[in-house]
């Protein structure tokens, strides 16, 4: 099995399925495509039908798109419990992951993942609204599941919000300014303390 990822300090979409794959415990090969480089398009075309990263290769099968890869890994490695057994929690988790996959465009555009950076910025009203929605969603799921992760145990939903936690840290976004009483902020810190994320970060900043 091989996963093709983009530059680790920038590619939030690569981080998500990479975390899920690490959580399966399966052996895999990692291929890195450096982004923002001359020849990037040609290199991506060698691997990806969409000419984007990430891409998962499993024998003759090629799966592109971060959410599709995560769902494939859930089905291939059921013992990893990338989604919870409880159907209600699983449905809520899938809703939250899909919301991140297709939404929060202002936050993603204004505050891209830059693991090497620390700065405080004034964010737009649209991005502030995105942050409030994320705080609301995190609190909703954490209160329902009891934590420590969104659905109790770590899941694909947490993979999808880990890059969000890096953005909050990078740009000095304090969730207490957006309606959080501490639960969401602690959860964001927890995401950045998992061994899998720390392994990614160490590679990104090496």
Q: Same domain for 53 and 127?
A: no
Residues 65 and 92 in one domain: no
**Do both 175 and 143 map to the same domain?**
yes
Q: How confident is the model at residue 39 (pLDDT cuts 50, 70, 90)?
A: low
Residues 112-164: tens digit of each pLDDT: 999 999 999 999 999 999 999 999 999 999 999 999 999 999 999 999 999 99
Same domain, 61 and 109: no
The answer to whether the CB of 43 falls within 8 A of the CB of 6 is no
Q: Residue 152: which of 195, 102, 100, 92 has the closest Cα? A: 92
User: 205 lies in a domain?
Assistant: no
**Are 45 and 5 spatial neighbours (Cβ–Cβ below 8 Å)?**
no
Mean pLDDT value of segment 96-106: 97
Give domain status of residue 49, yes or no.
yes
User: What are the structure tokens assigned to 19, written together?
Assistant: 């975390």
The domain that contains 95 carries what CATH number? 1.20.1050.10
Helix and strand tally (H, E) in the chain? 9, 4
Buried/exposed 55-79: b ≥16 CB within 10 Å, e otherwise: bbbbeeeebbbbbebbbbbbeebee
In this prediction, what percent of the chain has a pLDDT beyond 70?
99
pLDDT in tens, 138-152: 999 999 999 999 999
Residues 110 and 187 in one domain: yes
Please indicate, yes or no, if residue 151 is contained in any of the structural domains.
Answer: yes
Which residue would you say has higher pLDDT here, 35 or 100? Answer: 100
- Residue predicted with more confidence, 152 or 50: 152
Q: Does the residue 202 lie in any domain?
A: no
Of residues 19 and 41, more confidently modeled: 19
Residue 92's SS3 state is: helix
Q: Is residue 206 part of a domain?
A: no
For residue 38, is pLDDT > 90?
no
Query: In this structure, how many other beta carbons lie within 10 angstroms of the beta carbon of residue 109?
Result: 12
**Is there a single domain that holds both residue 66 and residue 101?**
no
- Domain limit, last residue, from 62, 80, 98: 80
The domain tally of the chain equals 2
- Residue 148 domain-assigned (yes or no): yes
Asked which of 47, 64, 80 is the last residue of a domain, the reply is 80
Please tell me whether residues 75 and 110 are part of one structural domain. no
Query: Range of 167's domain?
Result: 87-196
Least confident of 15-19, 33-37, 85-89, 194-198: 33-37
Last residue of a domain, one of 53, 80, 107: 80
Residue 203 lies in a domain: no
């Amino acid at each position: 099995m091989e996963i093709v990822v983009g530059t680790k300090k920038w590619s939030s979409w690569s981080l998500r399925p990479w975390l899920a794959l690490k959580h399966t415990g399966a052996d895999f090969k990692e291929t890195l495509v450096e982004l923002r480089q001359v020849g990037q398009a040609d290199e991506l075309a060698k691997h990806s039908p969409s000419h984007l990263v990430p891409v998962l290769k499993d024998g003759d099968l090629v799966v592109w798109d971060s959410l599709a890869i995560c769902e494939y890994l859930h089905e291939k490695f059921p013992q990893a419990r990338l989604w919870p057994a409880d159907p209600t929690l699983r449905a809520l988790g899938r809703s939250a992951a899909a919301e991140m996959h297709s939404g929060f465009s202002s936050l993603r555009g204004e505050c891209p993942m830059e693991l090497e950076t620390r700065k405080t910025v004034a964010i737009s009203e649209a991005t502030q609204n995105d942050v409030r929605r994320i705080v609301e969603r995190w609190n909703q799921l954490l209160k329902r599941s009891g934590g420590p992760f969104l659905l109790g145990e770590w899941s694909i939903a947490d993979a999808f919000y880990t890059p969000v936690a890096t953005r909050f840290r990078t740009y000095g976004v304090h969730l207490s300014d957006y309606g959080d009483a501490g639960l969401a902020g602690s959860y964001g810190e927890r995401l950045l303390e998992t061994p899998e994320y720390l392994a990614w970060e160490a590679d990104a900043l090496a």
